[in-house]
Amino acid sequence: MQLFGFEIKKRNEEPATVSFAPKPNEDGAMVVQAGGIYGTYVDMDGSIRTETELVTRYRELSNHPELELAIDDIINEAMVGDSQDSPVEINLDDLEQPDRIKDLITEEFKNILNLLEFNDYSYDIFKKWYVDGRLYYHLIVDPKDLRAGIKELRYIDPRNIRKVREQKKKKTESGVPVVQDGAEYYVYNNKGFIKAPGSTATNSQGIKIAKDSIVNITSGLVNPGGDTVLSYLHKAIKPMNQLRSMEDSLVIYRISRAPERRIFYIDVGNLPKMKAEQHLRDMMTRFKNKIVYNADTGEIRDDRKFMTMLEDFWLPRREGGKGTEITTLPGGQNLGQIDDIVYFQRKLYKALNVPISRLEPETVYNLGRSTEITRDEIKFAKFVDRLRMKFSQLFTKLLQRQLILKGVVTLEEWPDFARSIRYDYAIDNYFAELKETEILRDRAQMVRDLDDYVGKYYSNEWIRKNVLRQTEEEIKEIDKQIADEIKSGVIQQGDEEQAAQTQPQGR
């Protein structure tokens, strides 16, 4: 299949794998039963409509001030960079390939960053993925020269595209039902999968696009049914709506209860009901004074004919009562308390895994010891690391297409390459660096304390493995570096004996 795109195939096409368990639907693909040519367009309305509405709702939520502030904290921690340094770099230390291949991979990774304009728009790209929960790019290539690689990366609104995966169900000779994975492709509609004006049906028709010409990554979160991808903002929908309702109700209460109002008890004696009501209205008209200022025209006028909830109260009183009386209804008390608002704000931040301390603007950024770091900050740093790992799938998938198109690797070789490729993100979280520094300081102090017992109760190798926590590979690499530095004269003669003492016995 090669419809409006390109497709990368293996040289010897292997039969599709079969299993009694369907493939996990973590990429948000719509699973359809393979049938006729147009059978895949059936029953797409409900799923597409739900996903489109979700993405729109996530974007509306992200514009709320409190939620936008929390999202900004997350993205600022995840994407760190400036005009001099790149926010992310590729790490090929674990890749067992010649330096020539590593240099080619590094060069192509830089080309991908340039196509994404990642150094300039890393914040915006990451925000789109975080808020929407999915990210789509169209890979534009030259059909006449595929070896030239990707020419352009064009962003696609996730509401206009949907991935489709065909599955075939059949039974084996033993009667066990199995699932066989079929073709995968994308359906695109430039008008979006939304209801047409005056119609009750969703527009689910679109262009069929080969899967290799589209790169998409998702948040990895799915609904309980497993058929819809969710955003990291999904947990914040309920606390955000509660916060909005609480803020609106608080404003209404303060406006209606803030002013003091008067209560007029008018003695109507033994007057009949109709005359008593007329007497009360006459008194209201005589003493009522409502001056209104029109900001548009600058006029001041008297609007006695209107009465609102903030006006004075006029109540009749029969003979035998206390007579005419004017009292004051005090305004609401404790109008400055916003404990309810703060509660839902804290709940909103907890839903997004952002430390509560960041909600308080007066909190001082303290660069103290690692023991002073709050547990929430440590959890937040780990959460950001998980976000980066999920987002790194974008680079891996783009790099796969680029390297295969340019002939650097083959489709069969790529899985081995992908397992050894890592990405190093620029770090601006001082807490992580502070923790590593203090751990290293404590280990070095423990080594000095055990120095007198080396050769008597402990060996050098035991100390290096159990105190310094060095692996076998690190020990070999450090020993080689020490030997090279002694030979090159970097380590002086006085330090040579001390370096020799750190060598493990028998090495």
DSSP 77-145: HH----SSS-SEEEE-TT--S-HHHHHHHHHHHHHHHHHHTHHHHHHHHHHHHHHHSEEEEEEEE-TT-
Q: Are residues 102 and 166 in the same domain?
A: yes
In terms of Cβ atoms closer than 10 Å to its own Cβ (0-12, 13-18, 19+), residue 244 is: middle
Report the C-alpha gap between 45 and 240 in whole angstroms.
28
Residue 242: inside a domain, yes or no? Answer: no
What pLDDT is recorded for position 431? 62
Residue 61: inside a domain, yes or no? Answer: yes
Q: Are residues 126 and 203 in the same domain?
A: yes
The helix/strand/coil state of 336 is coil
Two tokens, residue 260: 């003091």
Which structural domain, as residue segments, surrounds residue 403?
18-233+372-429
Q: Are residues 228 and 284 in the same domain?
A: no
Could you tell me which residues come within 8 angstroms of residue 281 by beta carbon, excluding any fewer than 6 positions away?
Answer: none
Residue 7: inside a domain, yes or no? Answer: no
pLDDT in tens, 78-109: 998 766 678 899 999 888 888 899 999 999 99
Model confidence band, residue 155 (pLDDT cutoffs 50, 70, 90): very high
Residue 117: inside a domain, yes or no? Answer: yes
The one-letter code for the residue type at 18 is V
Which of 273, 294, 329 terminates a domain? The answer is 329
The one-letter code for the residue type at 477 is E
% of the chain with per-residue pLDDT over 90: 23
Q: Are residues 401 and 297 in the same domain?
A: no
Could you tell me which residues come within 8 angstroms of residue 82 by beta carbon, excluding any fewer than 6 positions away?
Answer: none
What pLDDT is recorded for position 423? 94
Report the C-alpha gap between 134 and 216 in whole angstroms.
7
Q: Are residues 295 and 419 in the same domain?
A: no
3-state secondary structure labels for all residues of 210-245: EHHHEEEEECCEECCCCCCEECCCHHHHHHHHHHHH
Report the C-alpha gap between 202 and 108 in whole angstroms.
41
Q: Are residues 324 and 454 in the same domain?
A: no
Which of 300, 329, 358 terminates a domain? The answer is 329
pLDDT in tens, 9-51: 665 555 556 676 666 666 667 777 665 444 444 344 445 567 8
What pLDDT is recorded for position 45? 46
Report the C-alpha gap between 270 and 130 in whole angstroms.
74
What pLDDT is recorded for position 176? 75
Listed residue (189, 184, 183) closest to 158, CA to CA: 189
Q: Is the pLDDT of residue 355 over 60?
A: yes
Q: Are residues 118 and 62 in the same domain?
A: yes
Could you tell me which residues come within 8 angstroms of residue 470 by beta carbon, excluding any fewer than 6 positions away?
Answer: 464, 478
pLDDT in tens, 248-279: 888 777 777 767 777 888 888 888 888 888 88
% of the chain with per-residue pLDDT over 70: 75
Residue 253: inside a domain, yes or no? Answer: no
- Identify the residue whose tokens are 């001041």: 300
Average pLDDT over residues 384-390: 93
Average pLDDT over residues 146-154: 91
Q: Is the pLDDT of residue 201 over 50?
A: no
Q: Are residues 456 and 502 in the same domain?
A: yes
Q: Are residues 145 and 187 in the same domain?
A: yes
Listed residue (379, 400, 393) closest to 423, CA to CA: 393
Average pLDDT over residues 321-350: 77
Q: Are residues 69 and 208 in the same domain?
A: yes
Mean pLDDT computed over every residue of the chain: 79
Report the C-alpha gap between 263 and 259 in whole angstroms.
13
Contact between 157 and 138 (Cβ < 8 Å):
no
Residue 250: inside a domain, yes or no? Answer: no
Contact between 200 and 179 (Cβ < 8 Å):
no
What pLDDT is recorded for position 275? 87
Indicate the number of domains in the chain: 3
Which of 269, 303, 329 terminates a domain? The answer is 329
Residue 435: inside a domain, yes or no? Answer: no
Average pLDDT over residues 124-136: 94
Two tokens, residue 17: 């794998």
Q: Are residues 57 and 170 in the same domain?
A: yes
Average pLDDT over residues 377-401: 91
Residue 344: inside a domain, yes or no? Answer: no
Q: Are residues 94 and 222 in the same domain?
A: yes
End-to-end CA distance of the chain: 59
Q: Which of 73-77, 98-102, 366-370, 490-494 has the lowest mean pLDDT?
A: 366-370
